[in-house]
Amino acid sequence: MTKKKTLTRRTLHYYWLATRNHQGLFWGLIASTIGFCGFLSYGNPYVMSLIVDRIGAGPVAADEVFAVFGPYIAALIAINLAGQACSKLQDYTMWKLQIAVNYDLATMAFDCLCNQSLSFHSNRFGGTLVAQTSKFMSAYTLLLNTITFPFLPIVCSVVFTCSLLFPVVPLYTVVLMGLLAVYAAVSYIMYKRILHLNEQAAGAQNQLSGELSDAVTNILAVKTFGREDYERHLFDAANREVVARDSKRMASSLLRGVITAGLTVVIMSVVTVFISGGNAWFGITAGTVIIMFTYTNTVTNQFNFINTGLQRINQALGDASGMTAVLDEPRLVADAPDAQPLSVELGDIDFRDINFWYTDGGTRTQVFRDFNLSIPAGQRVGLVGMSGSGKTTLTKLLLRLADIQEGEILVDGQNVADITQTSLRRQIAYVPQEALLFHRTIAENIAYGRPDASREEIRAAARAANALEFIERLPQGFDTVTGERGIKLSGGQRQRIAIARAMLADCPILVLDEATSALDSESEAAVQEALARLMEGRTAIVVAHRLSTVASLDRIVVLSEGCIVEDGPHADLVAKGGDYARLWNRQTGAYGEE
């Protein structure tokens, strides 16, 4: 099975998963569409043909009109009432189904993206993922509308036309269906030829969205380096690719439309001949001539929408293909089927015989080989070393932002691979080097780990993180919206809010990854004191390049190329004169004093 067929099948699979939760609405939509088409497009002409035949049978006196035509009038009124009722039911079920299924699809996409690994997100544009989610939902609406009109009416028109005309004019019905079959076959063949064009156009649109998102997200870098023209060039190139792909799609669609329009002319020409000679050749009544023309015109008009319908289906499946591929992407980090919640009483951490490597582009990069590290409960451990030594990677493995290939990581004797990721991360307060803030109020950002926290608890955490003073100087105080990724605040302010968030979370395990790197000296001193209080009685892992951050900790682990080269308290490591001592002397200027 080709990739395109697989994506189409998988897209329909995901759409049906969401639709089957609302089967009452779905089948109500199908039934109401059939009723609407049958009553108004076929019921009315049929009764009118009976009226014409009755008129042709002989004159009717004025006082006998209602007696003779009363049943026909009643039938027309009933048919139109039923048809309009079906029309309104169709509108209701269509709207309700779209609303309900789009909610489920949005939830499906959100859950998929939130539960994917950090590696997955590192290799994709955030803007592209947002655009793919939006298109995935819009594509369902387009596909549902296309099924409802024109394809379901096309099927209905064929069934009703055959059922009503074949008993009266079988030869004409067979010829008409043969011509329509040729029309449908030609439309489908041309549709298959341009199927890939819509997928290419959708891919170009996704690339354009990604370029725009990348430039907007990093607008500060764009402006400070004066690279507006460069980013404009990248965006223009992506935009021109969209124009090129859309132009190819347009040309193919127009060509298909010209060919099928010619087939329509042929069909109507044959119809005209049959209708003109129908009475002379087959003894067809005037009423039958009316329904022949009306039904043929109806079914032919419906077939004219095949091109548009196939184009819409093509577009919908192309737009949905991006998110379908994401939904099919295996989760690199997933909970075990029988995963249990983590229970932390002490906070012991053990890395046992860890082997971990990255695989990027088919290239394997080993980070840890047979790595072992034990951290007793309540111990404050600093991780130091040159860039690339594995410090941050070790914390990510503890948080299961990536999974090890061999070995095990234990928290209070519980293998993190056997527990739920959510419960694991709720027991670890993590403060990264770059503060991660939402486009929400400062209070909401601080309380993110404890959304039920009171305003006083939020204030206390802000005070402990040395953030209260600058927060209260802001016009809206704690109700100040930080902007996307906290852009309205300075780096030091963002970091202190992140530290306040960790303090409020009050987790038994604390991970600080360069948590004080963005602070000035005065703020750092205040925050270091607060962090010292926070770490009391907790297991703490502190990643740092600035060694003054870890000098007062219980223990310092020096890493080099994924291996532990030194391990001990600050004073012992300095006295030893090894790697740590050289790093310390370099940062404190001790070499210059010798």
Name the residue among 568, 567, 529, 563 with its Cα closest to residue 549: 529
Q: What token pair was written down for 172?
A: 């004409």
From the number of C-beta atoms within 10 Å of its C-beta (0-12, 13-18, 19+), residue 537 rates as exposed
Is 275's pLDDT higher than 80?
A: no
CA distance 388 to 105: 40
Is 274's pLDDT higher than 90?
A: no
Looking at residue 201, its amino acid is A
CATH class of 3-328: mainly alpha
Q: Do domains 3-328 and 349-593 have the same CATH topology?
A: no
pTM summary value: 0.75
pLDDT digits (tens, 9 = 90+) for 408-459: 999 999 999 999 999 999 999 988 877 878 889 999 999 998 999 999 999 9
CA distance 172 to 284: 11
CATH 3.90.1580.10, domain 349-593, yes or no: no
> How would residue 593 be classed by pLDDT, with cut points 50, 70 and 90?
very low
Residue-level pLDDT at 589: 66
pLDDT digits (tens, 9 = 90+) for 450-479: 999 999 999 999 988 888 989 999 989 999
Residue-level pLDDT at 488: 81
22-37: average pLDDT: 96
pLDDT digits (tens, 9 = 90+) for 46-99: 999 999 988 888 888 888 888 899 999 999 999 999 999 999 999 999 999 999
Buried b (16+ CB within 10 A) or exposed e, 112-140: bbeebbebbeeebbebbbebbbebbbbbb
> How would residue 4 be classed by pLDDT, with cut points 50, 70 and 90?
low
Q: What token pair was written down for 393?
A: 């990677």
Of the ranges 134-138, 452-456, 492-496, which one carries the lowest mean pLDDT score? 492-496
> How would residue 285 be classed by pLDDT, with cut points 50, 70 and 90?
confident
Domain ranges (residues) in the chain: 3-328, 349-593
Is 591's pLDDT higher than 50?
A: no
Residue 476 vs residue 214, higher pLDDT: 476
Residue-level pLDDT at 517: 66
Beta-bridged to residue 360, according to DSSP, are: 363
How distant is the alpha carbon of residue 35 from its chain centre? 36
